[in-house]
Amino acid sequence: MTSLHIQTALLAHPQLSVALGKHVWLKMENTQPSGSFKLRGIGLLCQRAVANGATRLVCPSGGNAGFAAAFAGAASAVRTTVVVPETTSAAVIQRISDIGAEVIVHGSVWHDANQYALQLCQQTGVVYIPPFDHPDIWDGNATLIDEAVAQAKAMNTDFDVVICAVGGGGLMAGILEGMHRNGMADVPLIAVETEGAASLYAAIQADELVSLTAIQSIATSLGATRVAPAALHWTRQHVVHSVKVTDRQAIAACLSFAGDMRTLVEPACGAALAVAYQRLPVLENFKRPLIVVCGGIGVSLQALAGWKTQFSL
Ligand SMILES: *Cc1c(COP(=O)(O)O)cnc(C)c1O
């Protein structure tokens, strides 16, 4: 089974490396055909579902997960339905239908769309594609670490910490799976959320799963009110530093990154980059950080300009 995702570049970040006196590495997942790392995990989940006889895929997400599912469905020539709430913009709906998926608008919030998606999946052959909580998603996301480790080895280097953004924790669970299968079980992970979307941070504080009552962050791709149980479980088996940044810090990082690397990324990705751009103390003792540039299609020059004004940056 050939994978749907591509091998992405491992790049040095020249300006941050100089500014911090560290070797700052970037795994450029924004260059995946779907615009984010999601194609790795969701792509694999979709491929496995089709191999097991799925005749239709249904994904409840108007974000990067839905876009990756649409991409995977088209590549596997299987009918794909993305269910989104009424708040979803016409542009997003257009973008998903342009790659051949069917879009159903249902309900006023994600929960309603999800309920409808689950209902569709009661028919035989119809498979539910969740955004982050599935072992196949973690298997697929883990390939980004397989690649990064091989790429670093070829350059005679390695990493002493990995930094990633956390929404529902599917990226984090995949990264940790990848780290453990590549001899990096002792390398810490910095798990970054924005303040209004910090469901992992809350779960770690409470030492149990917590459902946030609301998401109040510009980083909509991090807006899972509750993390996957596996994500919290991982924090008990691996050194995970859970940190929060403000929306403003995430946007500032997106702006700096656009200038430095000539690349646009979502605020969700800016959150991970902010750990380095803000020189957070958590990074102090590390010399060779790997930042997972998770990417995202929810950004444009216009959106970035709007956020810049909004936060007086
Ligand atoms: C989905 C997503 C995240 C968060 O991933 P989870 O698996 O939900 O933790 C972060 N950044 C981008 C761009 C995403 O699309």
Question: Can you give the length of the chain in residues?
Answer: 313
- Identify the pLDDT of residue 88: 87
Q: How far is the CA of 166 from the centre of ligand 1 (A)?
A: 6
Under a CB-based contact definition with an 8 Å cutoff, are residues 292 and 29 in contact? yes
Under a CB-based contact definition with an 8 Å cutoff, are residues 93 and 105 in contact? yes
Q: How far is the CA of 124 from the centre of ligand 1 (A)?
A: 29
Parse the chain into domains and list their residue ranges: 10-37+136-310, 38-132
42 within ligand 1 shell (Cβ under 6 A):
no
The DSSP string of the chain is: ---SS-PPPEEE-HHHHHHHTS--EEEEGGGSTTSBTHHHHHHHHHHHHHHTT-SEEEE--SSHHHHHHHHHHHHTT-EEEEEE-TTS-HHHHHHHHHTT-EEEE-SSSHHHHHHHHHHHTTSTTEEE--SS--HHHHHHHHHHHHHHHHHHHHTT---SEEEEE-SSSHHHHHHHHHHHTTT-TTS-EEEEEEGGG-HHHHHHHHTS----S----S-GGG--SS--HHHHHHTTTS-EEEEEE-HHHHHHHHHHHHHHHS----HHHHHHHHHHHTT-GGGTT-SSEEEEE-B-SS--HHHHHHHHHHTT-
Q: Domain 38-132 adopts which CATH fold? A: Rossmann fold (3.40.50)
Under a CB-based contact definition with an 8 Å cutoff, are residues 170 and 137 in contact? yes
Please give the chain's pLDDT, 313 residues, in tens.
899 999 999 999 999 999 999 999 999 999 999 999 999 999 999 999 999 999 999 999 989 999 999 999 999 999 999 999 898 888 889 999 999 999 999 998 888 999 999 999 999 999 999 999 999 999 999 999 999 999 999 999 999 999 999 999 999 999 999 999 999 999 999 999 999 999 999 999 999 999 999 999 999 999 999 999 999 999 999 999 999 999 999 999 999 999 999 999 999 999 999 999 999 999 999 999 999 999 999 999 999 999 999 999 9
The residue whose C-alpha atom lies closest to atom 15 belonging to ligand 1 is 64
The residue whose C-alpha atom lies closest to atom 7 belonging to ligand 1 is 170
- Identify the pLDDT of residue 87: 86
CA 213 to chain centre: 22
- Identify the pLDDT of residue 221: 94
Q: Which atom of ligand 1 is nearest to the CA of 265?
A: 13
Q: How far is the CA of 64 from the centre of ligand 1 (A)?
A: 8
Q: Which of 294, 297, 299 to mutate to test the pocket of ligand 1 (most atoms within 8 A of CB)?
A: 294
166 within ligand 1 shell (Cβ under 6 A):
yes
Q: How far is the CA of 165 from the centre of ligand 1 (A)?
A: 7
- Identify the pLDDT of residue 109: 87
CA 284 to chain centre: 25
Q: Domain 10-37+136-310 adopts which CATH fold? A: Rossmann fold (3.40.50)
Under a CB-based contact definition with an 8 Å cutoff, are residues 204 and 232 in contact? yes
Whole-prediction pTM value?
A: 0.97
Q: Which atom of ligand 1 is nearest to the CA of 171?
A: 7
The residue whose C-alpha atom lies closest to atom 13 belonging to ligand 1 is 296
Under a CB-based contact definition with an 8 Å cutoff, are residues 120 and 126 in contact? yes
